[in-house]
């Protein structure tokens, strides 16, 4: 039929099986992560009574370097772009490693032992919170993220 056109389809981030679609290391990713951590029973249990601030530095991404942080305090978690004043530790990696960790394709301990991530700051605090860090990685790997 002449003059008929297929309707235009606009793709919008939609929940998928209770998950949020977001671009890796975007504002939407940070919000989706924050929401997921605060609504996950395992993460909630791991952060009970804990206070922790981790600074992440991701180098060589498609948009350059990205700084973001995880802050856990008073039974709530926040993940956001930017720098966290007073972070107990920092975790530095390249973009490829950050993606692999986020997807759950690379174990945090393996990444550290092979030099794919560099850790600065208070290592003892990080080690004492290993259960929380493992839950953080688990929740991240469950998100529907566009890499």
**Sign of the four-CA dihedral 24, 67, 82, 40:** positive
Summarised one tens digit per residue, pLDDT across range 104-129 is: 999 988 999 999 999 999 999 999 99
Q: Does 11 reside within a domain?
A: no
If one counts the domains in the chain, the total is 1
Whole-number percent of the chain with pLDDT over 70: 86
> CB burial class (10 A; 0-12, 13-18, 19+) of residue 50?
middle
Q: Are residues 14 and 135 in contact, defined by beta-carbon separation less than 8 angstroms?
A: no
The pLDDT of residue 97 is above 60: yes
Q: Does 12 reside within a domain?
A: no
28: CB partners within 8 A, 6+ apart: 13, 20, 22
- Lowest-confidence pick of 3-7, 85-89, 102-106, 139-143: 3-7
The pLDDT of residue 60 is above 90: yes
23 falls in which pLDDT band (50, 70, 90)?
very high
Q: Does 27 reside within a domain?
A: yes
pTM, full prediction: 0.84
Q: Does 13 reside within a domain?
A: no
Distance CA 81, CA 29 (A): 10
By three-state DSSP, how is residue 114 classified? coil
Domain that holds residue 64: 19-141
Within 13 A of 121's CA, how many CA atoms are on the CB side? 18
Q: Does 38 reside within a domain?
A: yes
């Amino acid at each position: 039929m002449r003059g008929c056109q297929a309707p235009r389809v606009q793709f919008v981030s939609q929940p998928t099986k209770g998950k949020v679609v977001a671009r890796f290391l975007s504002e939407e990713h940070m919000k989706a992560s924050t929401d997921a951590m605060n609504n996950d029973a395992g993460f909630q249990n791991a952060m009970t009574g804990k206070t922790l601030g981790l600074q992440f530095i991701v180098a060589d991404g498609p948009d350059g370097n990205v700084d973001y942080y995880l802050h856990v305090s008073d039974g709530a978690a926040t993940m956001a772009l930017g720098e966290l004043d007073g972070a107990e530790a920092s975790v530095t990696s390249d973009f490829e490693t950050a993606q692999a960790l986020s997807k759950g394709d690379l174990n945090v301990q393996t990444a550290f032992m092979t030099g794919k991530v560099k850790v600065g700051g208070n290592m003892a605090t990080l080690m004492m919170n290993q259960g929380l860090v493992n839950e953080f990685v688990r929740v991240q790997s469950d998100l529907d993220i566009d890499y």
